[in-house]
C-alpha cells in the first residue's frame, strides 16, 4: 500500500518548494502553506525547473502530476494528509512552534518530517502531544533531483515511524539513510561544515580564489565522491592491499596536521566582500535560475552515467534511478484504467517541457519519437506486455516507423496521443498514432509503425502467447470497423 497519497509542505522556499515538486512529480497532491506574498511564483519556478530536469532524467512514464493547493493556515494545510514536511527558517523556537502547531492539527498517524539542517529532533519534538511520529527528514538541494534524505529520530520517535518514513521516501524515488544516533548537523552537514571551514581559510589566506577552489573539487575528487564516496575511494587508493594499507600509509598525516579544522575563521565584512566579489566574477553574469538549470543538467548526466555503470546494473544514485524507473514502468504512469474501442485509444497525456524544445523554439524531432514510443508502450501494457513480461524474456520490437510532422508543438503546450490498430496477427501489430493539441484537437504529427513479437534471448520473432492475443483481439476488431486514417500507407516525398 502506498504510504503517501497526499502531502503537505509548511514552508515553500528553496527546500520546501523542491519537496513540493518531488511529491507532485510522484503524482501526489500537495497542500502548501507559506506566508510569503510571492510563494506561488517562487514554487512555480522551482516546479518548472523540476519538470525540465525530469524531462531529461527519464523516459519512464510518470504518473499524472500532483496538484498544488495553496492554503491560508497551517491547520488547513496539514488536515487529513499522510506526510507533512516542515521547511521553515532554521531557528529552534520558530521550528518547534510550527511543529507543535502541526502536531495539534494533523491526523494522529500522519508522519511529520523536518528539513532542518542541524537541529536535534529531540529538541524539535519537545512540546508535541504525539512526538512518536516526528523525525528529521534532511534532504539535499535540489530535493527533486538529489535522492538522499537523512532520517533521524529523536528520543521519542518510534522505530516504526522511521521504518514507514524510509519506505515512503523510496516510493518517491529517494534514498532514505537512517542515522543511528541523533547529533547536531547529522552526517552530511558535518562533513560539509568541515570542508567549508577549511575552504574559508584558504580564501582568507589568499592561497586561492573561489573559482580555483571549485576547480580543484569539480575536476578531481568531486567526481570520485559522486560515485564512490569517501571510504570506497580511499580503499582503491590503498591498492591491492586495500583500506588497511591506506590507513597505515596516510594515517600519520593526521598528527601533523595540514588543516585548520579546529580554528574558526573570522567571517568579517572584509572576508564576506572578498568571497562575494570572487563569486560574482566566477558566475560571469549568469542568473541563479541559469545556474540552477546548468546544475540540474549536469546532475542528470551524472545519474544517467551511473545508471549505465556496473555492467548495466547501475551504481550508487544510478542504481536507485534504475530501480525507480522499474517501478514507474510497472505502474504505467498515465495508463488508462479502461478503454473504448469504438475509436482510436487515447493513451498518453503530456505537456511540452523546456528539455524538449530545440533551437527553433519548438519540440525537437526525437521527442516526437519518444512520445510515439510512450504511446506504443501504453498499448503494450494494455495487452499485458509490462515490465515483468519483458524481464521474463519476451517483448515486442518496433521494426518500421514512418513519422509525419504536420504542425508545431511549443513550450508548455498540452498534448495527447491516440492509437488505432490497422492490422494484427500472432506476431505483428500494425498501428497508426496521432499526436494532438489538447486545446484544439488538431493533429500535430502522425506515426505509422509495425511491431514484431520476439523471444529476446533467442533473438528471433515468435508468436505471442494466447493471453496477450486475447487482450489484443477486441481492440483490433473494434478498430477494424474504423476507416483507414488519413496518411496511413504514405511514403516519404508523396504529395498530399
C-alpha cell at 128: 508535541
CA distance 322 to 198: 36
Ordered alpha helix ranges (H), 172-260:
188-204, 210-216, 222-228, 231-237, 242-250
11 labeled part of a ligand binding site: yes
- Using CB atoms within 10 A of its CB, is residue 134 exposed (0-12), middle (13-18) or buried (19+)? buried
Which residues are registered as beta bridge partners of 448? 402, 432
CA distance 46 to 20: 9
Q: Residue 236, Cβ neighbours under 10 Å: how many?
A: 12
16 labeled part of a ligand binding site: yes
For residue 199, whether the previous peptide bond is cis, meaning omega lies within 30 degrees of 0, is no
CA distance 322 to 318: 6
CA distance 7 to 16: 12
Cα first-last separation, the chain: 52
List the one residue out of 263, 73, 55 whose CA is nearest residue 145: 55
Q: How many CA atoms, within 13 angstroms, populate the side-chain half-sphere of residue 341? A: 15
30 labeled part of a ligand binding site: no
- Using CB atoms within 10 A of its CB, is residue 3 exposed (0-12), middle (13-18) or buried (19+)? middle
13 labeled part of a ligand binding site: yes
207 labeled part of a ligand binding site: no
Ramachandran bin of 487, using left for φ above 0, alpha for ψ from -120 to 50, beta for the remaining angles: left
- The C-alpha angle with vertex 334 and arms to 461 and 425, in degrees rounded to 5, equals 25
Q: Binding site, residues? A: 11-16
Q: Binding site for NAD(+), residues? A: 11-16
Amino acid at each position: 500500500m502506498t504510504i503517501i497519497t497526499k502531502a503537505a509542505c509548511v514552508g515553500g522556499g528553496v527546500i520546501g518548494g523542491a519537496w513540493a515538486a518531488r511529491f507532485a512529480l510522484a503524482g501526489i497532491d500537495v497542500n502548501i502553506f507559506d506566508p510569503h506574498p510571492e510563494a506561488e511564483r517562487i514554487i512555480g519556478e522551482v516546479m518548472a525547473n523540476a519538470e525540465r530536469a525530469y524531462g531529461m532524467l527519464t523516459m519512464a512514464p510518470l504518473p499524472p502530476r500532483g496538484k498544488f493547493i495553496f492554503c491560508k493556515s497551517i491547520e488547513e494545510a496539514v488536515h487529513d494528509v499522510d506526510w507533512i514536511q516542515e521547511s521553515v527558517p532554521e531557528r529552534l523556537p520558530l521550528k518547534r512552534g510550527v511543529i507543535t502547531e502541526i502536531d495539534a492539527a494533523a491526523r494522529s498517524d500522519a508522519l511529520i518530517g523536518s528539513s532542518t539542517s542541524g537541529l536535534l529532533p529531540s529538541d524539535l519534538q519537545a512540546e508535541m502531544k504525539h512526538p512518536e511520529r516526528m523525525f528529521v527528514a534532511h534532504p539535499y538541494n535540489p530535493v527533486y533531483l538529489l535522492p538522499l534524505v537523512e532520517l533521524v529520530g529523536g528520543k521519542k520517535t518510534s522505530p516504526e515511524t522511521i521504518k514507514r518514513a524510509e519506505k515512503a521516501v523510496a516510493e518517491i524515488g529517494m534514498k532514505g539513510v537512517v542515522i543511528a544516533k541523533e547529533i547536531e548537523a547529522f552526517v552530511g552537514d558535518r562533513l560539509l561544515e568541515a570542508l567549508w571551514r577549511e575552504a574559508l581559510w584558504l580564501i582568507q589566506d589568499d592561497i586561492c580564489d573561489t573559482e580555483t577552489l571549485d576547480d580543484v573539487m569539480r575536476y578531481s575528487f568531486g567526481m570520485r565522491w559522486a560515485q564512490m564516496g569517501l571510504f570506497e575511494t580511499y580503499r582503491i587508493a590503498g591498492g591491492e592491499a586495500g583500506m588497511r594499507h591506506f590507513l597505515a600509509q596516510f594515517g600519520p598525516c593526521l598528527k601533523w596536521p595540514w588543516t585548520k579544522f579546529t580554528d574558526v575563521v573570522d567571517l568579517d565584512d572584509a572576508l564576506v566582500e572578498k568571497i562575494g566579489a570572487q563569486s560574482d566574477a566566477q558566475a560571469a553574469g549568469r542568473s541563479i535560475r541559469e545556474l540552477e538549470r546548468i546544475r540540474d543538467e549536469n546532475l542528470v548526466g551524472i545519474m544517467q552515467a551511473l545508471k549505465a555503470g556496473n555492467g548495466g546494473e547501475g551504481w550508487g544514485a544510478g542504481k536507485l534511478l534504475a530501480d525507480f524507473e522499474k517501478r514507474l514502468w510497472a505502474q504505467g504512469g498515465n495508463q488508462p484504467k479502461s478503454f473504448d474501442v469504438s475509436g482510436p485509444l487515447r493513451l498518453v497525456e503530456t505537456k511540452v517541457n523546456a528539455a524538449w524544445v530545440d533551437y527553433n523554439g519548438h519540440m525537437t524531432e526525437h521527442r516526437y519519437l519518444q512520445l510515439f514510443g510512450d504511446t506504443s508502450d501504453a498499448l503494450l501494457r494494455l495487452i499485458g506486455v509490462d515490465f515483468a513480461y519483458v524481464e521474463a524474456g519476451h517483448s515486442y520490437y518496433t521494426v518500421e516507423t514512418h513519422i509525419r510532422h504536420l504542425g508545431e508543438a511549443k513550450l508548455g503546450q498540452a498534448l495527447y496521443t491516440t492509437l488505432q490498430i490497422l492490422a494484427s496477427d500472432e506476431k505483428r501489430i500494425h498501428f497508426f498514432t496521432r499526436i494532438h493539441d489538447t486545446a484544439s484537437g488538431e493533429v500535430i504529427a502522425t506515426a505509422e509503425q509495425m511491431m514484431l513479437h520476439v523471444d529476446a534471448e533467442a533473438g528471433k520473432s515468435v508468436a505471442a502467447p494466447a493471453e496477450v492475443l486475447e487482450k489484443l483481439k477486441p481492440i483490433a476488431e473494434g478498430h477494424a470497423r474504423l476507416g483507414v486514417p488519413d496518411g496511413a500507407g504514405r511514403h516519404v516525398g508523396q504529395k498530399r
